[in-house]
Amino acid sequence: MIRARLALLVSLPVALGAQTGGFSFDDAQRFLRANCQACHQGTSPAGGFALRDIATADTMRTRPERWNKLALRVRHGEMPPKAAAAPPAAERERFLEWADSALRAAVCSAGATPGRTPVRRLNRDEYAATVRDLLDLQTDLTSFLPADGAGGEGFDNAGETLFLTPLLAEKYLDAAKFALDAAFKEFKPRARILVARPGDGVTAEQAAHAILSAFLPRAFRGPVHEADIAEYMSLFRSAQKQGLEFESAVQYTLRAVLVSPRFLFLAERMDEYALASRLSYFLWGSMPDELLFDIASMGKLHDPQVVRALVPRMLRREQSLDFVKRFVDQWLRTRQLETDKAPDAKLFPAWTTDAEIQSDIRLQPALFFHEILKRDLSLLDLIDSSQTVLTRKLAKHFGEPLQVTGADQQPRWLDLPKGSTRGGLLGMPAVLAVGSYPYRTSPVLRGAWILEAMLGTPPPPPPADVPALEKQASADAPKTVREMLTQHRANPACASCHSRIDPLGFALENYDFIGRWRDQDNGKAIDNRGELPDGTIVEGPQSLKNALLERKDQFVRNLTSRMLGYALGRGLTAQDSCAVDQIVSGLKENDYRAQKLIELIISSAPFQYQAPQGAKK
Amino acid sequence: VSTRRTGISRRTLLRGAGVGLGLPWLEAIAQSPAQRNPVRMAMLYMPNGVNTAHWYPKGEGRDFELSTTLEPLAEFKNQILVLSNLWNAGAKGGDGHYCKESAILTCATIKKTPGVDIGNATSLDQAAAQRVGDRTPLPSIELGVAPVAVGVDLAVGYTRVYGSHISWANASTPLPRELNPRVAYQRLYRAGAGQSSDTAKLDTLLLDRVLGDAKRLRGEIGAEDGKRLDEYLSVMRSLEQRVQRSASGERRNWKARVALLPENAPTEQPASHEEHCQLMLDLIATAFQSDTTRIATFMFGNAVSNVSFRFLEGVTMGHHDTSHHGKAEDKLRQYQIINRWHVEQYARLLRKLGSMKEGDSTVLDNSMILFGSALSDGDSHSPHKLPIVVGGGGGGRVDTGQHRRYTEDTPLANLYVSLLDAFGTPVERFADSTGPLAGVLRG
């Protein structure tokens, strides 16, 4: 059944072929023979891995896991090992680029298939938002629970890293009690829960039943059977037997509901209601509202027309900003501004003394992305735009003549003056700070940040035996960061990556460690020029953005992967990359419109379906 | 063989045979060790390694000289054991930080993964807690100051979850840490205060109900997707047991050795990194003194922590930045100042424990406080010659007052075999151990 529907839904991806950029399967074999064969051959190959096992093009389809592992180890600089000679960087790059696309082509020959999304618990933010919406409560429960780590595509909603521990179990019990105590004391939440009371011919038993019949389907995010209600009724009765009054007994019973796995976990079976939950946890980070429940009950959530109408409506709701904040904060790593990357208090006191400027800086990228989504603008605006989100204080912080109308401190969406360098994410202090040390800029960190966050190609970690920048202390030692980096790149082991990293960062040197514009650093004029490995000269922010726009496909593909991973709450597999391909080509046909990205993700096979039990990952 | 150890093995036998709690003679066992001072064990983890030139003491055996970094421990010279040349063989290879720092208490080789098949092993503290944790209101506490690190380290392909956890309940379950001093204190207080039998009864009924939901859900879900529900089932069951114990006769034999008072709860928002660390370390002292738990771990920061130490005279940068010194003098100097600050915090805890009297001894005499890092030189991410100190007498079992220098690359796990022995939870082997670590325990 699923297969049949998929066949209709999924068209074959554009064939990428086993040859990309002039690099063929045979070239790959030559690369492997030259760099790996010495160890990976014979009767006991190193690591039990022999090149002969992957000697034919067919093995890309039959043994993709081998190929994936190989590519990953080369990418992370683990192979060839330190002791062996490293392949020339350009060749390594070409091999990796080829491996990526050839593997994708091999895996996608059968079309996009859904993967398996295992059952997962709500993460801390989702839990707090769900309790808030379920109980109509304004109290924020976030601080009750420990923060969650991240897995998969780098987000804290990835099922693989949402563990359940004794401490968390205790906290769930405490938080449920706290939330219900608060809810029973407030008028609105109380009225919403207590839909019936004993008296006037209504027994306590009947009233409790009515309350649970209304509460359980909302808490469990789908229809419940009479038998389920009966189970909780018996808990209610036990409570009364223990001497609890009606309201206390109801409160106690609801506390169990909030600790039940049916509340705490998102189902893995993809029925209509589960799809409604997936949708609302994607775009709101909370439970579905009544409209979504209704659409689910009509079985309309698979309908692309319905999805198209739903997306703008869901994005208009205030909760969608929670989604954008969480996504952007983790995608861009700006969440680190709360910890390691907090600007130095001595050099930038306003960060600690002025809560407004801190929050303006922190929120700007998310507010910007949110506007792009709501206004359905181009995703390429993230690279460069003629408009941005600003507050009065932020404009002043920039040290540029930007006019923000109005006297208040509200963020505004406004046109940037011609020639402004503040368009796109790269003009934002939050982004510029996360690519700096807390006390000075770093072209290396900014360059690596661009490669990772914007292009999805993080450089491997530096090899351990390479001297760091300041090691060469001598009389003629270079003085500036640029001079040091130039010397660094003279070493071929460093040059292979730093020739890719550094020029990107140099182009942003006009921004200080917290994103303020500067023409000089320590009395020296800023040199914002660099040369990319392909010979492109980048000079200053605008030309960097132009260079990134040249790579828009790579940027859009990376953004799509990250957002699909977020939407699914798990890491992507080789199979998912076929869905990513389809979404990317769909975006291309639609001028990279932002809402299209959301629509296409929701309509994608991995989002809509679940592979049958036992299907391989 | 001490009677204490016999008591535990009988108890373990009991549990293995599936005999329920609450047998009358079990109370007798529970009572007798209460006369004696319990042994406590803690691990304080310092990220990013050390400036090796200033760490290792001069001389060996009892006649040794503390290094500049270890100098703050001078007053405890006879109550510490400095151990050199240990390592975790499982952490060689892999990346610079995660594979070492996450395995400091497990001595395992962690799985390289962005999350889906996360894999480490049961850590030292949990190996002990799982055997005797039910003797105290809380089996163990895990404390920290930095929230779990965000994201996946895409450059090396490890989820940062690894670098944020040293306590692992099993291969796939890292234990989250309490970061809020006030909340952590309240948890200690409430655990010690226990529950009335009415509340315990209600909690048990509630947990029975949700366990029922979990079992049903589990039945509908295939093996590969049900892992998380299995976790739920086991965690809720253990919570239920703890609730029942807290109101049972057995529990009434536990008494706080020093009462905790709710009004002593510390602040929720420490003003500085230093105050935050100190408040968390004070909590370990409080928990040990009151006997709310006998096992604790504390992380001064996550792996790769780059907390700014500019609050220290002479330091201008973040922790991780200084560790990548590239042999530059200025960075090495700053690195050492930061290392020494950590040792000072450690010494402060030892002092506090030493001031807590227990009969003729002190809580420090009855504790084993492990301090160290999973790297030696942070610049080269070296897993050799780990900087490791044990402080406290372990109830008289630990042969303190020495600097022991072992054959290079002696398993760190050997130390854990010795510590588990002194703690009263002996094991044949721990990870890649080859036996107890010579010279740690008294004959």
The backbone torsions φ and ψ at residue B75, rounded to the nearest 5 degrees and listed phi first, read -65, -15
Distance CA B152, CA A154 (A): 5
Of A17-26, A416-425, B294-303, least confident by mean pLDDT is A17-26
Distance CA B275, CA B280 (A): 9
Dihedral class, residue B93 (left if φ above 0, else alpha if ψ from -120 to 50, else beta):
left
Look at chain B and count its residues.
443
Q: Tokens 């003279």 sit at which residue?
A: A490
The amino acid at A403: Q
A residues 143-202 lying closer than 8 A (beta carbon) to B: 143, 146-156, 158-170, 173
Residue pLDDT, tens place only, A447-468? 999 999 999 988 887 766 555 5
Taking the C-alpha atoms of B172, A326, A340 and A561 in order, what is their torsion angle to the nearest 10 degrees?
70
In this complex, the residue of B142, B150, B209 whose CB is nearest that of residue A336 is B150
Cβ count near A556 (within 10 Å): 21
Distance CA A347, CA A350 (A): 9
Quick one: which of A472, A487, A471 has its CA closest to B327? A471
Task: Return the exposure string of B119-157: e unless at least 16 CB atoms fall within 10 Å of the residue's CB, then b.
Answer: ebbbbbbbbbbbbbbbbbbbbbbbbbbbbbbbbbbbbbb
Distance CA A6, CA A383 (A): 34
What secondary structure letter does DSSP report for A14? P
A614 interfacial to chain B (CB closer than 8 Å): yes
Q: Mean pLDDT score of chain A, rounded to an integer?
A: 88
- The stretch A29-49 carries a mean pLDDT of 86
Q: Tokens 């510029």 sit at which residue?
A: A432
Q: Say if CB A120 and CB A569 are below 8 A apart.
A: yes
Residue pLDDT, tens place only, A345-399? 889 999 999 999 999 999 999 999 999 999 999 999 999 999 999 998 898 887 7
pLDDT score recorded for residue A509: 96
Q: Say if CB B364 and CB B391 are below 8 A apart.
A: yes
Of A606-615, B114-123, B131-140, B397-406, least confident by mean pLDDT is A606-615
pLDDT score recorded for residue A185: 94
- The stretch A171-197 carries a mean pLDDT of 96
Quick one: which of B403, B339, B380 has its CA closest to B100? B380
Quick one: which of A91, A247, A265 has its CA closest to A163? A265
- CA B113 to chain A, closest CA, distance in angstroms equals 9
The amino acid at B402: Q
Distance CA B361, CA B392 (A): 11
pLDDT score recorded for residue B7: 36
Cβ count near A354 (within 10 Å): 13
pLDDT score recorded for residue B6: 37
In this complex, the residue of A262, A461, A470 whose CB is nearest that of residue B217 is A262
Taking each helix axis from N to C end, the angle separating B273-290 and B181-193, rounded to the nearest 10 degrees, works out to 10
- Comparing B116 with B407, the larger pLDDT belongs to B407
Quick one: which of A175, A117, A116, A168 has its CA closest to A147? A168
pLDDT score recorded for residue B28: 36
Q: How deeply is B196 buried, as exposed, middle or buried, from its count of CB atoms within 10 A (0-12, 13-18, 19+)?
A: exposed
Distance CA A158, CA A386 (A): 35
Q: Say if CB B124 and CB B430 are below 8 A apart.
A: yes
Angle, CA B300 vertex, CA B297 and CA B306 arms, to 5°: 145
Distance CA A37, CA A79 (A): 12
- Could you please report the per-residue DSSP string of A570-590? S---TTHHHHHHHHHHHHHHT
| pLDDT level of residue B23 (50, 70, 90 thresholds) | very low
Q: Say if CB A470 and CB A484 are below 8 A apart.
A: yes
* Cβ contact A169–B381 (<8 Å): no
The residue among B213, B221, B234, B332 with the most chain A CBs within 10 A of its CB, best to mutate, is B213
The backbone torsions φ and ψ at residue B83, rounded to the nearest 5 degrees and listed phi first, read -120, 120
* Cβ contact A460–B114 (<8 Å): no
- The stretch A165-177 carries a mean pLDDT of 94
In this complex, the residue of A154, A167, A461 whose CB is nearest that of residue B175 is A167
Residue pLDDT, tens place only, B346-392? 999 999 999 999 999 999 999 999 999 999 999 989 999 999 999 99
Task: Report the Cα–Cα distance between both ends of chain B, in Å, rounded.
Answer: 12
Distance CA A608, CA A277 (A): 11
- Half-sphere exposure for B40 (CA within 13 Å, toward CB): 34
Q: Say if CB B284 and CB B143 are below 8 A apart.
A: yes
Q: What are the residues whose beta carbons fall under 8 Å from the beta carbon of A318, sequence distance 6 or more?
A: none
| pLDDT level of residue B297 (50, 70, 90 thresholds) | very high
Distance CA A117, CA A437 (A): 38
Helix (H, G, I), strand (E, B) or coil at B318: strand
- Count of pairs with CB atoms under 8 A, one residue in A, one in B: 233
- CA B214 to chain A, closest CA, distance in angstroms equals 6
Displacement of CA A314 from its chain's centroid (Å)? 19
The residue among B112, B210, B299, B382 with the most chain A CBs within 10 A of its CB, best to mutate, is B210
pLDDT above 90 covers a percentage of chain A that reads: 59
Give the residue ranges of DSSP H helices in B174-272: 181-193, 197-220, 227-247, 249-252
Chain B hits for A330, CB-CB cut-off 8 Å, are 150-151
Residue A77 in tokens: 């600089």
Distance CA B109, CA B286 (A): 34
Distance CA B45, CA A258 (A): 36
β-bridge pairing B402-411 and B295-299: unpaired
Distance CA B47, CA A361 (A): 29
Question: HEC profile for A52-103?
Answer: HHHCCCCHHHHCHHHHHHHHHHHHCCCCCCCCCCCCCHHHHHHHHHHHHHHH
- Comparing B110 with A100, the larger pLDDT belongs to B110
pLDDT greater than 80 at residue A613: no
* Cβ contact A260–B209 (<8 Å): yes
A340 interfacial to chain B (CB closer than 8 Å): yes
Q: Mean pLDDT score of chain B, rounded to an integer?
A: 89
What secondary structure letter does DSSP report for B37? P
